[in-house]
């Protein structure tokens, strides 16, 4: 027997078992992901977000008692007023959905009124999430029941050049939400980070709903079925597939170049339209 044959036979059995264990592990992971996907996207959570299960009051338009509080979230001196208005209300669900973005994609130093823009965006997109959570979370912790849904964005899953401050603010919302969920999950409170791609709304300037750009009603119905099942969610199956493809399949460098190309194109179209107008 040659030396090479001896070496091969010596490692043949260990390599066989290594391959077998690896294949078994990959199979188990695949089955687990399939079952988890079926649970989230097919079975859902059994209408967990409802007044009967989480509380009498919620930020919702139908089916629960509603109270309107007017506030300008670009300011920071509004939260004592909001706290007074919320006194005595049993809030079961808080949806932190207030947010602003750029008027158009732009290089950081070229953003119009940059100083004011930074303060306003941080106050609306970041400070509001922290402060509203501060106001509502104590009563939820006392009751050991409640849900906080923080609306981040798919733009917070990876850096978006020319929308850098917005993208970073949404990444903060995502990290803030996941950190709080780790802190308060054992106390019976659900804190979820929601990272949608485009939805057909006036804000997005998309008029017609499609499979990957759903109507608000379709997106919300899908998202609510994930509450309590996913601490971080894209909220809608096509968006979840888009999120997986963009973060798990594409190398970061390729994704960054692609996103930069998209935002540069959007910027060029906007500036051209401004000159023509």
Which residues are catalytically annotated? 166
Rounded Cα gap, residues 242 and 26, in angstroms? 22
**Structure tokens of 210?**
């499609």
Rounded Cα gap, residues 7 and 2, in angstroms? 9
Sequence-separated (6 or more) residues with CB below 8 Å from residue 273: none
Rounded Cα gap, residues 178 and 180, in angstroms? 5
CA 249: distance to chain centroid?
19
Counts of helices then strands in the chain (DSSP H, E): 9, 5
């Amino acid at each position: 027997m040659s030396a090479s044959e001896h070496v091969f036979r010596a490692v043949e059995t260990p390599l066989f078992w290594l391959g077998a264990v690896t294949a078994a592990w990959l199979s188990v992971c695949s089955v687990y992901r399939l079952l988890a996907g079926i649970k989230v996207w097919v079975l859902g959570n059994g209408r967990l977000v409802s007044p009967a299960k989480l509380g009498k009051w919620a930020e919702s338009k139908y089916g629960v008692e509603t109270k309107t509080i007017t506030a300008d979230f670009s300011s920071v001196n509004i939260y004592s007023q909001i706290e007074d208005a919320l006194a005595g209300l049993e809030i079961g669900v808080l949806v932190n959905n207030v947010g602003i973005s750029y008027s158009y994609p732009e290089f950081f130093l070229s953003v119009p009124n940059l100083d004011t823009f930074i303060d306003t965006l941080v106050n609306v997109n970041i400070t509001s999430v922290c402060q509203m959570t501060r106001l509502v979370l104590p009563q939820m912790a006392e009751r050991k029941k409640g849900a906080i849904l923080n609306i981040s964005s798919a733009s917070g899953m990876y850096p978006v050049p020319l929308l850098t401050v917005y993208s970073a603010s949404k990444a903060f919302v995502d990290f803030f939400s996941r950190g709080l969920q780790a802190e308060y999950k054992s106390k019976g409170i659900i804190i979820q980070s929601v990272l949608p791609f485009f939805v057909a709304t006036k804000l997005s300037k998309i008029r017609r709903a499609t499979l990957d750009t759903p109507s608000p009603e379709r997106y919300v119905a899908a998202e609510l079925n994930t509450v309590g099942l996913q601490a971080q969610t894209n909220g809608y199956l096509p968006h979840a597939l888009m999120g997986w493809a963009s973060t798990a399949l594409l190398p970061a460098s390729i994704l960054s170049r692609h996103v930069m190309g998209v935002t540069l194109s959007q910027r060029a179209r906007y500036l051209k339209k401004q000159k023509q107008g």
